[in-house]
Copies of this chain bind each other. A is one copy, B any other.
Amino acid sequence: MEDNFSDIALNAKIASKQIATISTKVKNQALLNIANNLDKNKDKIFEANKVDLDSAITLVEKGEITQSTFNRLKLDENKMRDMIQGIKDIAALDDPIGKVLLKRELDEGLVLTKISCPIGVLGVIFEARPDVISQISALAIKSSNAVILKGGKESVNTNIAIMSVIQNALDNTEDFPENVLNQVFTRDDVAKMLKQDEYIDLIIPRGGNKLVKFIKENTKIPVLGHADGICHIYVDEYADIEKAKSIIIDAKTQYPSACNSVETVLVHKNINDDELIKALENAGIEIVYAPDSWHKEYGEKKLSYKTVESIDEAIKHINKFSSGHTESIVTENHERAKLFMNAVDSAGVYHNVSTRFADGFRYGFGAEVGISTNKIHARGPVGLEGLTIYKYTIEGNGQIVKDYAEGVKSFHHKDI
């Protein structure tokens, strides 16, 4: 392992050009080799994980890390099985690279093709979830990107063990280039990563709000992710109250700390909401009628609640306070639903369903890179496609622009 970050980044850039050209077959073989090697070496990984867990337990006792961080850190047979299955699932997906997105004859014998290709080098910064390594590595390989991973310090032994098993599998995969996967370890490496816009094309943070906010504020490299998940449900005047109850309870209690959980409920003034409020309270939800801020993300069984005069007020409130993640309207009136879905500017805008559906697997993407609240490139749950861009090729036989500029030839632009 080199310790000079610039060398690692440069080598990753070179590797990114090599993995861009390898076949689907080689990539899938690499993924299956990784899956098999993890299965074969899982005891070694559990041993390394035990070292991390032993250190972590004292940190939990001292209150320096939470019990839930400890739980995320812990690998067991179930998590390992999911990790291995996840890699096999990614191997089974269509190759996102080399897809023809447009083919157009510009003129006789002059053919333009728009073709999907990898982005280049991904920088991935994640917290105490060592299973991220295998998942991101598999996504990067399938999409022909190189990657530089920086994990949490609490899981350093586990991370090294997993990466060594993965790297060993790649070393034994014929025609697989070196330096595609790279791991760095220090805070200083993170600082360097965020500055390396010459070599790193996209940063993917996997962790809590604080991590994502810090990264977004400290880099000019594009960041794919979301800091906040302030999702809203608007209960319209024409709502079916039974649906409203069940949707809000699901969206708040099914997994309260998820980013797609509801944080604010807006209710039309013409709704008699006594019954609704009682149902939420019976489900263990604490209702906050006057929050300090309408930007509040609770992450627990608690939500902000507001009565609104009209659907317009609801839309304006959401467009002002939402983090742009996911919102839902409950109504039996289709015109109202259409208006809401048109006017609300979020990655997901739903009608009569729980906000918790915002998820790459539920959308049928087969794999999820993360959820993005960006306004460019990729928005909402991001599948493999979010790790691709495109290039244009033109095939010709000596054509020059002068002939077209002077009217000797002309374009006919036929899609083929």
- Given A343-B17, A364-B411, A375-B119, A254–B350 Cβ distance below 8 Å? no
Q: Which residues of B contact A405 (CB under 8 A)?
A: 254
Q: How far is the CB of A362 from chain B (nearest CB, A)?
A: 7
What string of 1s and 0s marks CB contacts (under 8 Å) between A300-339 and chain B? 0000000000000000000100000000000000000100
Q: Which residues of B contact A352 (CB under 8 A)?
A: 395-399
Is B356 a contact partner of A401 (Cβ separation < 8 A)?
A: yes
Q: How far is the CB of A223 from chain B (nearest CB, A)?
A: 9
Contact of A48 with B by CB under 8 A:
no
Q: How far is the CB of A255 from chain B (nearest CB, A)?
A: 8
Q: Which residues of B contact A16 (CB under 8 A)?
A: 345
Is A353 a contact partner of B398 (Cβ separation < 8 A)?
A: yes
- Given A243-B397, A362-B106, A399-B354, A17–B319 Cβ distance below 8 Å? yes
Contact of A201 with B by CB under 8 A:
yes
Is B106 a contact partner of A394 (Cβ separation < 8 A)?
A: no
Q: Which residues of B contact A392 (CB under 8 A)?
A: 347-349, 358, 363, 379-381
Distance between Cα atoms of A400 and B255 in the complex (Å): 12
Interface size on A, residues (CB 8 A): 74
Contact of A172 with B by CB under 8 A:
no
Contact of A27 with B by CB under 8 A:
no
Distance between Cα atoms of A392 and B363 in the complex (Å): 10
Is B400 a contact partner of A351 (Cβ separation < 8 A)?
A: no
Q: Which residues of B contact A104 (CB under 8 A)?
A: 363-364
Q: How far is the CB of A135 from chain B (nearest CB, A)?
A: 20
Q: How far is the CB of A197 from chain B (nearest CB, A)?
A: 9
Is A393 a contact partner of B341 (Cβ separation < 8 A)?
A: yes
- Given A247-B400, A362-B404, A376–B222 Cβ distance below 8 Å? yes
Contact of A80 with B by CB under 8 A:
no
Contact of A220 with B by CB under 8 A:
yes
Q: Which residues of B contact A394 (CB under 8 A)?
A: 348, 350-351, 353, 357
Is A357 a contact partner of B395 (Cβ separation < 8 A)?
A: no
Is B350 a contact partner of A17 (Cβ separation < 8 A)?
A: no
Is A351 a contact partner of B396 (Cβ separation < 8 A)?
A: yes
Is B353 a contact partner of A120 (Cβ separation < 8 A)?
A: no
- Given A247-B398, A347-B392, A351-B393, A363–B254 Cβ distance below 8 Å? no
Distance between Cα atoms of A402 and B261 in the complex (Å): 12
What string of 1s and 0s marks CB contacts (under 8 Å) between A97-117 and chain B? 000000010100010100001
Contact of A298 with B by CB under 8 A:
no
- Given A106-B363, A243-B397, A354-B399, A17–B345 Cβ distance below 8 Å? yes
Q: Which residues of B contact A178 (CB under 8 A)?
A: none
Indicate which residue in B375, B397, B401 contacts A354 across the interface (CB closer than 8 Å): B401
A351 to chain B: closest residue by CB:
B395
Is A342 a contact partner of B21 (Cβ separation < 8 A)?
A: yes
- Given A17-B319, A375-B120, A411-B364, A243–B391 Cβ distance below 8 Å? no
Contact of A413 with B by CB under 8 A:
yes
Q: How far is the CB of A329 from chain B (nearest CB, A)?
A: 10
**A positions within 8 Å CB-CB of B:** 16-17, 20-21, 104, 106, 110, 112, 117, 119-120, 201-202, 216-217, 219-220, 222, 240, 242-243, 246-247, 249-251, 254-255, 319, 337, 341-343, 345-354, 356-358, 362-364, 375-381, 389-402, 404-405, 411, 413
Instruction: Provide 24 A-B residue pairs closer than 8 Å at the C-beta atoms, listed in order of the A residue.
Output: A110-B353, A120-B345, A222-B222, A243-B398, A346-B391, A347-B391, A347-B392, A349-B392, A352-B397, A352-B399, A353-B398, A353-B399, A353-B400, A354-B401, A356-B400, A356-B401, A357-B394, A376-B378, A376-B389, A379-B390, A379-B392, A380-B390, A380-B391, A380-B392
